[in-house]
Structure 1
């Protein structure tokens, strides 16, 4: 799930009996409910945080972002080009961009703004999913040669918004709260359909997880927008489709075996032990002194950072996570405006 779900939980002691199947989920249900309500209060849209840009009503070519957001974007682009990272494979470029965002505050709930659903641009605070989305979108812009067109700020903003919309919304269209890709397994499926990523979980030995997805519809009180019965009905239908399709994951005690085949910049989705929830956390694969680690925006740590532990050890040490899904970012085939289409 996206930023609406429970936070990345604390560590647990790793042991030789790490589960291959999701045996903890039924036991985690009551804990999840309590956690969700606490998190919902913390992540209330009424919590003060920098006002994100609302580009949805801006005509093409006009500047709509906050200057602070543009500065982060521009610096990310210029930094990548300055060191030749724009010539690297997409995954390596994403690692470079992600490392440039290390230290950015962890801010949950930035997409949960009042009023109708709209595209939010906010580089001032990131959560685990908006970090992945923005790194991917910046990398795509760099690959499209945006560094040569930064003087056309309004046009560049529009191109970036189209890419971000393609990553965040089903069918590239903002059509109310349910059109956002809330469950990260659907985020991956949608991105693969758009030829933005390649889900390599199966080729890495991933096994089938056919447990139903229904967390949002079974906890509607935790989501302000689900007080609308129409929104709830759409979410329930999405859950039914995802549940019928199933998905694959690499169990936590097999991650070390396949770590050498996971590439820098691969999108990592840590699967959840909570009943009805697909994904608990997301980030990017990164190698530090040969070890596979996670570049991510965790709740614990308060900012974008590289994990202290290897990825396999980290997943084993967290009670609420039991494996990973892995998606490899694909090289862009065209400029962002041609990839995703649509007007700004």
Structure 2
């Protein structure tokens, strides 16, 4: 991966706080490192895909913004922070995992300047606008449960046969916790089983819907996430794929992908 000299930008980060010792913000302003590639891409997407298309639907803007990342390399563990080390506000387009990809798309679609984008990353990635590991949205369904909301859960609206289960997020099958510092969250999770997904479900999905791949495993809601995109080649699951054959952002045929999974959760941008 080509290395670039980072640009240190002081941006007005409004309406959020950072935990003591956390890098990225302090009070109402902060310092964010953006490499040249990332900053250039932010400018390009805003100028060509967001500003000129502000009157288009949310879904169409998500479709066009997300297309700019097709082919971007998949890189796991891009975020910095843990229960024992300070959270850093990471903005880096040189490598994406499935969740940071959605973060960037959702933040970009609402932004008209780089400062807007960084502020929107905070609102998208962290609940209560607090840049800290404890306030990071670690679970896909946090987007529709933790304030400020990023999306509405429309799974039950898409299919009346959707199943609701109660999960204890962050709790392992042995009773321990994946991350002890976060505690556990009791949450009703609704999903459409993969075997039930057909044309009726497809007909009720909208381009730009955020799709989580449900898991029955204890403590988790999804194992992967992406975006539903209607194309001339048929419906696609646009995702930052960790599969060895991909290792990049790709469009995967939607039905082929989801029929082999335990099910899907559908969140719609608000």
For 1:274, the equivalent position in structure 2 comes to 217
Which one has a larger percent strand, Structure 1 or Structure 2?
2
**1:306-337 deviation line (CA, Å, top 9, x unaligned):** 00x2x2331223xxx3111111112xxxxxxx
Equivalent in 125, 130, 139 of residue 183 of structure 1: 139
1:22-171 alignment, distance < 5 Å: 55-56=24-25, 60=29, 64-80=33-49, 84-112=52-80, 115-141=85-111, 146=112, 156-171=113-128
Distance in 2, matches of 1:218 and 1:187, equals 27
Give structure 2 stretches of 5+ with no counterpart: 9-22
Equivalent in 192, 199, 203 of residue 250 of structure 1: 192
Equivalent in 235, 238, 255 of residue 182 of structure 2: 235
For normalisation by structure 2, the TM-score amounts to: 0.80
2:216 aligned with 1:262: no
**TM-aligned CA distance change 1:131 to 1:216, over 3 Å:** farther
Secondary structure at the counterpart of residue 262 of structure 2: strand
Q: CA deviation at 1:51?
A: 9.4
2:140 aligned with 1:173: no
**TM-aligned CA distance change 1:174 to 1:81, over 3 Å:** closer
Q: CA deviation at 1:69?
A: 1.3
**TM-aligned CA distance change 1:62 to 1:211, over 3 Å:** closer
Q: CA deviation at 1:62?
A: 7.0
Distance in 1, matches of 2:225 and 2:152, equals 16
Which one has a larger percent helix, Structure 1 or Structure 2?
1
Aligned-pair RMSD on alpha carbons? 3.0
Distance in 2, matches of 1:121 and 1:92, equals 23
The number of residues matched between the two structures is 247
Whether the aligned pair in 1 keeps the contact of 2:126 and 2:135 (CA below 8 Å) is yes
Whether the aligned pair in 2 keeps the contact of 1:85 and 1:93 (CA below 8 Å) is yes
**TM-aligned CA distance change 1:220 to 1:324, over 3 Å:** same
Distance in 1, matches of 2:205 and 2:31, equals 41
For 1:306, the equivalent position in structure 2 comes to 251
**TM-aligned CA distance change 1:61 to 1:174, over 3 Å:** closer
Q: CA deviation at 1:163?
A: 1.1
Q: CA deviation at 1:65?
A: 2.1
Give structure 1 stretches of 5+ with no counterpart: 1-48, 147-155, 227-231, 331-344
Whether the aligned pair in 1 keeps the contact of 2:72 and 2:94 (CA below 8 Å) is yes
Equivalent in 147, 151, 159 of residue 197 of structure 1: 151
**TM-aligned CA distance change 1:68 to 1:168, over 3 Å:** same
Of structures 1 and 2, the one with the larger relative CO (CA 8 A, separation 6+) is 1
Secondary structure at the counterpart of residue 203 of structure 1: helix
